[in-house]
Amino acid sequence: MSQVNQAKSKPYAIAQLGHAVLRKRAVAVNDILGDECQKLIKQMMLAVQEAGGVGIAAPQIHHSVRIFIMCSKPNARYPDAPLMAPTAIINPEILHYSAEKVKDWEGCLSVPSMRGLVPRHSQITVRYFDQQGNEQQKELSGFIARIFQHELDHLNGLTFIDQLASTQDLISEVEWYQQFSK
Protein backbone atom coordinates (compact mmCIF):
# COMPACT_ATOMS: atom_id res chain seq x y z
CA MET A 1 0.00 0.00 0.00
CA SER A 2 1.38 3.42 -0.90
CA GLN A 3 1.96 6.16 1.69
CA VAL A 4 -0.92 8.15 0.19
CA ASN A 5 -3.36 5.24 0.57
CA GLN A 6 -2.13 4.57 4.11
CA ALA A 7 -2.73 8.21 5.04
CA LYS A 8 -6.27 8.05 3.65
CA SER A 9 -7.06 4.86 5.59
CA LYS A 10 -6.28 6.46 8.99
CA PRO A 11 -9.11 8.70 10.21
CA TYR A 12 -6.54 11.04 11.77
CA ALA A 13 -3.80 11.18 9.12
CA ILE A 14 -2.32 14.68 9.12
CA ALA A 15 -2.66 16.72 5.91
CA GLN A 16 0.68 18.01 4.69
CA LEU A 17 1.53 21.42 3.22
CA GLY A 18 0.25 21.52 -0.36
CA HIS A 19 -2.97 19.60 0.36
CA ALA A 20 -6.00 21.64 -0.73
CA VAL A 21 -7.84 21.19 2.60
CA LEU A 22 -5.22 23.37 4.31
CA ARG A 23 -6.08 26.33 2.04
CA LYS A 24 -9.88 26.26 2.49
CA ARG A 25 -11.78 28.43 4.95
CA ALA A 26 -13.42 25.93 7.31
CA VAL A 27 -17.19 26.06 7.88
CA ALA A 28 -18.92 26.61 11.23
CA VAL A 29 -20.09 23.65 13.30
CA ASN A 30 -23.86 23.63 13.77
CA ASP A 31 -24.39 20.55 15.97
CA ILE A 32 -21.67 20.55 18.62
CA LEU A 33 -23.30 17.82 20.69
CA GLY A 34 -23.99 15.59 17.67
CA ASP A 35 -22.23 12.26 17.24
CA GLU A 36 -20.29 13.43 14.18
CA CYS A 37 -18.75 16.43 15.96
CA GLN A 38 -18.00 14.50 19.15
CA LYS A 39 -16.37 11.68 17.18
CA LEU A 40 -14.22 14.19 15.27
CA ILE A 41 -13.09 15.81 18.53
CA LYS A 42 -12.02 12.38 19.87
CA GLN A 43 -10.11 11.68 16.62
CA MET A 44 -8.39 15.06 16.88
CA MET A 45 -7.41 14.47 20.52
CA LEU A 46 -5.91 11.13 19.53
CA ALA A 47 -4.11 12.61 16.51
CA VAL A 48 -2.50 15.47 18.46
CA GLN A 49 -1.48 13.11 21.25
CA GLU A 50 0.07 10.59 18.86
CA ALA A 51 1.87 13.35 16.94
CA GLY A 52 3.18 15.00 20.11
CA GLY A 53 1.76 18.40 19.15
CA VAL A 54 0.45 21.24 21.29
CA GLY A 55 -2.52 21.81 19.00
CA ILE A 56 -4.26 20.55 15.90
CA ALA A 57 -7.05 21.92 13.70
CA ALA A 58 -9.75 19.89 11.98
CA PRO A 59 -8.48 20.74 8.47
CA GLN A 60 -5.19 19.09 9.43
CA ILE A 61 -7.03 15.77 9.63
CA HIS A 62 -8.99 16.46 6.44
CA HIS A 63 -12.18 17.93 7.97
CA SER A 64 -12.89 21.50 6.90
CA VAL A 65 -14.86 22.55 10.00
CA ARG A 66 -14.12 25.20 12.64
CA ILE A 67 -12.69 23.05 15.44
CA PHE A 68 -9.24 22.86 16.93
CA ILE A 69 -7.64 21.27 19.97
CA MET A 70 -5.20 23.07 22.26
CA CYS A 71 -3.13 20.86 24.55
CA SER A 72 0.00 22.68 25.60
CA LYS A 73 2.63 20.65 27.38
CA PRO A 74 6.41 20.69 27.64
CA ASN A 75 7.97 18.47 24.96
CA ALA A 76 11.07 18.26 22.78
CA ARG A 77 9.69 20.84 20.33
CA TYR A 78 8.45 23.24 23.03
CA PRO A 79 10.31 22.48 26.28
CA ASP A 80 9.03 25.61 28.06
CA ALA A 81 5.37 25.18 27.09
CA PRO A 82 2.91 25.54 29.96
CA LEU A 83 0.81 22.52 30.90
CA MET A 84 -2.89 22.61 30.02
CA ALA A 85 -5.57 19.95 29.64
CA PRO A 86 -6.57 19.11 26.06
CA THR A 87 -9.34 21.54 25.15
CA ALA A 88 -11.70 21.48 22.18
CA ILE A 89 -12.23 24.94 20.68
CA ILE A 90 -15.30 25.14 18.43
CA ASN A 91 -16.33 28.07 16.19
CA PRO A 92 -13.61 30.31 17.64
CA GLU A 93 -13.17 34.01 17.12
CA ILE A 94 -10.79 36.64 18.40
CA LEU A 95 -12.62 39.62 19.87
CA HIS A 96 -9.59 41.75 20.74
CA TYR A 97 -5.87 41.75 19.90
CA SER A 98 -3.16 43.49 21.90
CA ALA A 99 -1.13 46.03 19.96
CA GLU A 100 2.07 44.28 21.01
CA LYS A 101 3.33 41.47 18.81
CA VAL A 102 6.07 39.04 19.77
CA LYS A 103 8.15 36.97 17.36
CA ASP A 104 8.84 33.38 18.40
CA TRP A 105 9.58 30.04 16.76
CA GLU A 106 6.69 27.88 15.57
CA GLY A 107 6.46 24.51 13.94
CA CYS A 108 3.47 22.69 12.52
CA LEU A 109 2.38 19.09 12.19
CA SER A 110 1.39 19.89 8.58
CA VAL A 111 4.78 21.44 7.81
CA PRO A 112 7.14 18.85 9.27
CA SER A 113 10.83 19.56 9.56
CA MET A 114 10.44 23.35 9.28
CA ARG A 115 10.28 26.17 11.85
CA GLY A 116 9.42 29.82 11.41
CA LEU A 117 9.97 32.95 13.47
CA VAL A 118 6.35 34.15 13.54
CA PRO A 119 5.01 37.46 14.89
CA ARG A 120 1.83 36.99 16.97
CA HIS A 121 -0.23 39.22 19.22
CA SER A 122 0.97 38.73 22.81
CA GLN A 123 -2.55 38.90 24.28
CA ILE A 124 -5.96 38.15 22.81
CA THR A 125 -9.55 37.99 23.99
CA VAL A 126 -11.36 35.03 22.46
CA ARG A 127 -14.82 33.52 22.27
CA TYR A 128 -15.60 29.91 21.37
CA PHE A 129 -17.80 26.97 22.28
CA ASP A 130 -16.44 24.06 24.32
CA GLN A 131 -17.08 20.36 23.72
CA GLN A 132 -20.25 20.51 25.86
CA GLY A 133 -21.66 23.37 23.74
CA ASN A 134 -21.05 26.08 26.34
CA GLU A 135 -19.92 29.51 25.16
CA GLN A 136 -16.58 30.56 26.62
CA GLN A 137 -14.87 33.94 26.61
CA LYS A 138 -11.26 34.15 27.80
CA GLU A 139 -8.19 36.32 27.76
CA LEU A 140 -5.11 34.43 26.58
CA SER A 141 -1.49 35.48 26.62
CA GLY A 142 1.97 34.17 25.81
CA PHE A 143 2.36 30.67 24.41
CA ILE A 144 -1.35 29.80 24.83
CA ALA A 145 -2.34 32.88 22.79
CA ARG A 146 0.22 31.81 20.17
CA ILE A 147 -1.31 28.33 19.90
CA PHE A 148 -4.82 29.80 19.55
CA GLN A 149 -3.72 32.15 16.74
CA HIS A 150 -1.76 29.40 14.98
CA GLU A 151 -4.71 26.98 15.03
CA LEU A 152 -7.22 29.67 14.06
CA ASP A 153 -5.06 30.39 11.02
CA HIS A 154 -5.62 26.76 9.94
CA LEU A 155 -9.38 27.32 10.08
CA ASN A 156 -8.90 30.33 7.80
CA GLY A 157 -6.83 28.44 5.22
CA LEU A 158 -3.43 29.70 6.41
CA THR A 159 -0.25 28.15 7.81
CA PHE A 160 2.49 29.75 9.89
CA ILE A 161 4.49 30.23 6.70
CA ASP A 162 1.88 32.78 5.56
CA GLN A 163 2.58 34.84 8.71
CA LEU A 164 6.35 35.13 8.24
CA ALA A 165 7.71 38.63 7.74
CA SER A 166 10.40 37.17 5.47
CA THR A 167 11.49 33.79 4.17
CA GLN A 168 14.71 34.46 6.10
CA ASP A 169 12.61 33.68 9.19
CA LEU A 170 12.21 30.07 7.98
CA ILE A 171 14.64 27.36 9.12
CA SER A 172 14.84 23.57 8.98
CA GLU A 173 13.92 21.86 12.24
CA VAL A 174 17.31 20.07 12.25
CA GLU A 175 19.11 23.40 12.06
CA TRP A 176 16.74 24.91 14.67
CA TYR A 177 17.60 22.15 17.14
CA GLN A 178 21.32 22.68 16.54
CA GLN A 179 21.08 26.44 17.01
CA PHE A 180 18.35 26.97 19.59
CA SER A 181 17.51 23.88 21.63
CA LYS A 182 18.73 23.72 25.19
Residue 173 known to be catalytic: no
Q: Report the CATH architecture of 3-180.
A: Alpha-Beta Complex (3.90)
CA of 55: how far to CAs of 1, 97, 100, in Å?
A: 29, 20, 23
Residues of the chain with pLDDT under 50: 1-9
Q: Cα torsion for 152, 156, 159, 161, to the nearest 10°? A: -110
Contact, 164 vs 170, CB < 8 A? yes
Per-residue model confidence (pLDDT) at position 10: 54
- In whole angstroms, give the CA distance from residue 36 to residue 177: 39
Residues of each annotated binding site: 108, 150, 154
Q: Which residue among the candidates 100, 139, 151, 173 is catalytic per the annotation?
A: 151
Q: What is the pLDDT of residue 75?
A: 83
- What pLDDT score was predicted for residue 11? 55
| pLDDT tens profile 38-61 | 999 999 999 999 998 999 999 999
* pLDDT recorded at residue 13: 86
Res 79: pLDDT: 86
The conformation of residue 65, written as its DSSP 8-state character, comes to B
Res 78: pLDDT:
86
Q: What pLDDT does 15 receive?
A: 97
- Helical segments of 22-172, H only: 35-51, 142-155
pLDDT of residue 175: 93
pLDDT for residue 182: 62
Q: What is the pTM of this model?
A: 0.92
Tell me the pLDDT tens digit for each residue of 116-125. 999 999 999 9
Alpha helices in the chain (DSSP H): 3-9, 35-51, 142-155, 173-180
Residues tagged in the binding site annotation for Fe cation: 108, 150, 154
